């Protein structure tokens, strides 16, 4: 059957056209286009595109997404007729893209047939389910004392340069073979940092299940603003298909600064610390999209690990307090611990997980029940012991156990541990099997112990079986 071609009809067609009133710093001021809507794409006559970001009585403000040198005042602007979308799907795995989905890795553009809007409503409460499955990061402290569940939003917070990105990178590397798809969003980072992250992922064979969304430090502020929403849309597609996903936002401090820059350029009134008043809503609508869906809606999950930077450990600053109130817990990294060689430099006393404990495996939950309290008590005792007073034998024994635990909790970068390894060291320490070791011997002995764990042991194996195997492996070490 031959399809009929609709004949051309001569007639009057009405279309809106505006003109550029001014341009600068990635922002275009446009007169006209009275029916323009927020987050709508508009096109310039030279082929550039923009995103409507502010509506005014006389002019509207637009973020330039692709800026050609031909954009000048007086240029005509017209509607494109659609909202900003990004291509999604499995073809993005292993790729490095910008917030618009264009490749940055020198390879041909991925063939994508599905698209999702960058801005989307968070799943309603009727579609959500309880967090019930653990998401293992491979970090001893996190997986045992500050556990994370699939669908949780766990904040990583601390000063610059003390291991926040390394902790998130470990979490991505540890998802190899666990059927969890990862999205890393790198916001406002220099090219050298981006290259280092990509090389670490490549060496760990983690790029096969990871998408990297990059908005570099020299990118337009609009790109840095859109980057986390692009990464969220990519992960949201897989979550709606019933897959488990992990999203890293590295970091939202630079994202907030980009939004502040855009807002001040658009002459919005500044608020606290010169941030616009809706910065809280901006981050909340981003992070609220992370959840676990009920089985009736696919059963997928999106776990978010946003990273935020503090200055001199100031937790009460504007953006950190906003994100602490939005998320389900925080992992706080302390610069003093980092300087003392305690890596990862996680402050166990100020870190908390408000949901993950409900998803923790019963065996690990039982074995780690008293570890946190023991460690915090040790820190207090160690503080008093510095005064040089004579200590009772019981106190000295607690200090010795605490020093041993501190050495056990240390972990090198890009060396995540399995959940079986977590349970092994928890039981070995909790049952006193390592008491005869000196703290400096703990790391070496523990590494040999974990390497020799038999494959027959699982998290569901009886505790007696675990202890029997551990005693046998440690017989010639202690």
Spot the catalytic one: 202, 272, 311, 354.
354
What is the average per-residue pLDDT within 226-247? Answer: 97
Q: What is the mean pLDDT of the chain?
A: 92
Percentage, residues of the chain above pLDDT 70: 97
Q: How confident is the model at residue 15 (pLDDT cuts 50, 70, 90)?
A: confident
Q: Average pLDDT in the 10-39 region? A: 88
Return the pLDDT at 165: 96
Q: Are 343 and 410 in contact (CB under 8 A)?
A: yes
What mean pLDDT do residues 96-119 have? Answer: 93
* Cα(304)–Cα(317) distance, integer angstroms: 22
Task: Mark whether 354 is an active-site residue.
Answer: yes
Produce one character per residue of 361-380: b if its CB has 16 or more CB atoms within 10 Å, e if not: bebbeebbeebbeebeebee
Q: Where residue 1 falls among pLDDT bands split at 50, 70, 90?
A: very low
Among the residue ranges 60-69, 113-122, 143-152, the one predicted with the least confidence is: 60-69
Q: For the residues of 110-166, what is the DSSP string, one character each?
A: P---EEEESS-PPPPGGGB----SB---S-HHHHHHS--BTT-B-EEEE-TTSSHHH
What local confidence, expressed as pLDDT, does residue 383 receive?
84
Does residue 359 carry a pLDDT above 90?
yes
- Higher pLDDT pick, 6 / 86: 86
pLDDT at 70: 74
Residue 6 pLDDT class (50, 70, 90 cuts): low
Q: Which helix (H) or strand (E) holds 78?
A: strand 76-83
pLDDT of residue 2: 45
Q: What is the pLDDT of residues 42-59, one digit of tens each?
A: 999 888 899 999 998 889
**pLDDT (mean) for 239-261:** 96
* pLDDT tens by residue, 409-420: 999 988 999 999
Closest CA to 151 of 25, 247, 50, 29: 247
pLDDT, position 71: 85
pTM comes to 0.93
Banded pLDDT at 436 (limits 50, 70, 90): confident
The long-range contacts involving 11-19, CB below 8 angstroms and separated by at least 24 positions, are 15/78, 15/79, 16/78, 16/79, 17/76, 17/77, 17/78, 18/42, 18/60, 18/76, 18/77, 18/78, 19/74, 19/75, 19/76, 19/77
Residue 7 clears pLDDT 90, i.e. is over it: no
Is 84 a residue whose pLDDT tops 70?
A: yes
- Beta bridge partners, 97, equal 103, 213
């Amino acid at each position: 059957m031959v399809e009929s071609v609709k004949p051309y009809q001569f007639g009057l067609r009405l279309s809106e056209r505006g003109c550029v009133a001014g341009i600068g710093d990635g922002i275009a001021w446009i007169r006209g286009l009275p029916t323009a809507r927020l987050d709508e794409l508009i096109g310039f006559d030279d082929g550039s595109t923009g995103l409507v970001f502010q509506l005014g009585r006389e002019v509207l403000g637009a973020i330039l997404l692709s800026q050609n040198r031909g954009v000048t005042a007086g240029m005509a602007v017209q509607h494109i007729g659609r909202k900003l979308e990004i291509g999604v799907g499995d073809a993005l795995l292993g790729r490095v893209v910008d917030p618009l989905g264009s490749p940055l890795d020198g390879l041909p553009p991925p063939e994508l047939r599905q698209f999702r809007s960058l801005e989307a409503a968070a799943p309603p409460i009727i579609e959500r389910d309880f967090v019930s499955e653990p998401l293992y990061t491979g970090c001893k402290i996190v997986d045992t004392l500050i556990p994370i569940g699939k669908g949780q939003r766990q904040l990583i917070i601390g000063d610059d340069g003390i291991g926040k990105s390394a902790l998130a990178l470990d979490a991505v590397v540890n998802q190899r073979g666990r059927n969890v798809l990862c999205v890393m969003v790198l916001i406002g980072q220099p090219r050298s940092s981006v290259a280092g992250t990509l090389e670490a992922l490549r060496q760990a064979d983690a790029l096969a299940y990871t998408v990297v969304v990059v908005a570099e430090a020299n990118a337009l502020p609009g790109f840095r603003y859109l980057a986390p929403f692009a990464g969220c849309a990519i992960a949201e597609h897989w979550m709606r298909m019933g897959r488990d996903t992990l999203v890293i936002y590295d970091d939202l401090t630079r994202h907030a600064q980009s939004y502040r820059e855009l807002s001040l350029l658009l002459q919005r009134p500044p608020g606290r610390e010169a941030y616009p008043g809706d910065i809280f809503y901006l981050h909340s609508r981003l992070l609220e999209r992370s959840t676990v869906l009920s089985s009736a809606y696919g059963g997928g999950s999106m776990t978010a690990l946003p990273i935020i930077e503090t200055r001199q450990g100031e937790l009460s600053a504007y953006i950190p307090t906003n994100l602490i109130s939005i998320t389900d817990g925080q992992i706080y990294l302390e610069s003093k611990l980092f300087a003392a060689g305690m890596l990862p430099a996680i402050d166990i006393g100020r870190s908390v997980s408000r949901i993950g404990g409900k998803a923790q495996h019963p065996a690990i939950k039982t074995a780690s029940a008293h570890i946190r309290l023991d460690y915090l008590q040790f820190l207090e005792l160690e503080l008093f012991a510095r005064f040089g007073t004579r200590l009772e034998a019981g106190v000295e024994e607690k200090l010795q156990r605490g020093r041993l635990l501190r050495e056990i909790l240390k972990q090198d970068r890009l060396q995540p541990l399995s959940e079986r390894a977590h349970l092994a060291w928890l039981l070995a320490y909790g049952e006193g099997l390592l008491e005869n070791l000196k703290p400096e011997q703990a790391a070496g002995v523990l590494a040999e112990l974990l390497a020799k764990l038999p494959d027959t042991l699982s998290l569901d194996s009886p505790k007696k079986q675990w202890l029997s195997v551990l005693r046998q492996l440690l017989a010639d070490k202690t």
